[in-house]
Amino acid sequence: MGKDLIEAIANLDEERAIAIVREKMSSGETAYEIVEQCKKGVEMVGKRYSEGSYYLSDLIMSAEILKEIMVIIEPYFYKNVAEFTEGNGAQIIIGTIEGDIHDLGKNIVIYLLRSSGYRVHDLGVDVSPTKFLEAIKETGATVIGVCVLLTFCIGYVKEMVDLLVEAGLRDDVKIVLGGYPVNEQVKEYTGVDYISNDAVKAMKIFKQITAGISPK
């Protein structure tokens, strides 16, 4: 399922990828299904890059294709998340951690949160631990979403958590870490509360936290 789109993105065939997405939307595939296929496609781009058969310009190209696809599918997300409309203005701070400028996945999560009634403070990319701390103090938000894609930036996430401990704020906030490389090991190392490398799971976690339910 979705192999054609995965391949078109992996081969950086922009025109074909866009045409397939339009076809998929009109045949009723959900925006989520399409995002998952896009993720697999760019994962292959990443793999080819690390193997040396693709260059940085190819990574950039894959990001451009993804951005175009997002423009097409964004309006359809909301339709599919009708059950997640309970943000009720709860505040969430989100940013990509220091040293890392990847933001396509973060922006999808932000879009979904805003569509569901959350008040999101987007700190952007390359956000230092100190900036996260300042944002917590300024806004009073108690839920933080951190995005990391570069493994060598995971240490800054730990620094951020340690900074919150030092500031005496750790027990007052819940931290959700997202991005391609996150797993249980990363969760344990950094000391964050929850992890997700999937937007739907992320939405469930945020919803449960803000409803006072402890996510499993």
Tokens 């949160």 belong to which residue? Answer: 113
Q: Nearer Cβ to ligand B12, position 53 or 168?
A: 53
Q: Residue 182: which of 201, 192, 197 has the closest Cα?
A: 197
Question: What are the tokens at 188?
Answer: 């344990």
Least distance (Å) from ligand B12 to the CB of residue 201?
8
Least distance (Å) from ligand B12 to the CB of residue 203?
9
Q: Residue 105: which of 133, 146, 141 has the closest Cα?
A: 146
**Which run of H or E residues covers position 61?**
helix 56-80
Least distance (Å) from ligand B12 to the CB of residue 154?
9
Query: Pick from 30, 80, 142, 197: which binds ligand B12 (CB under 6 A)?
Result: 197
Query: Pick from 17, 21, 37, 39: which binds ligand B12 (CB under 6 A)?
Result: 39
Is residue 112 part of the contact set for ligand B12 (CB under 6 A)? no
Are 93 and 119 contacting, i.e. CB atoms less than 8 angstroms apart?
no
C-alpha distances in Å from residue 166, one per residue of 39, 130, 171, 202: 37, 12, 11, 27
Q: Residue 96: which of 59, 135, 136, 124 has the closest Cα?
A: 124
Q: How far apart are CA 169 and CA 177, in angstroms?
A: 17
Q: Nearer Cβ to ligand B12, position 168 or 205?
A: 205
Q: Nearer Cβ to ligand B12, position 145 or 168?
A: 145
Query: Pick from 90, 149, 161, 164: which binds ligand B12 (CB under 6 A)?
Result: 149
Is residue 91 part of the contact set for ligand B12 (CB under 6 A)? no
Query: Pick from 13, 14, 30, 46: which binds ligand B12 (CB under 6 A)?
Result: 46
Is residue 42 part of the contact set for ligand B12 (CB under 6 A)? yes
Are 93 and 139 contacting, i.e. CB atoms less than 8 angstroms apart?
yes
**Which run of H or E residues covers position 146?**
strand 143-147
Which residues contribute to the site for ligand B12 (CB under 6 A)?
Answer: 35, 39, 42-43, 45-47, 49-50, 56, 59-60, 62-63, 66, 94, 99-106, 108-109, 145-147, 149-152, 176, 178-180, 196-199, 202
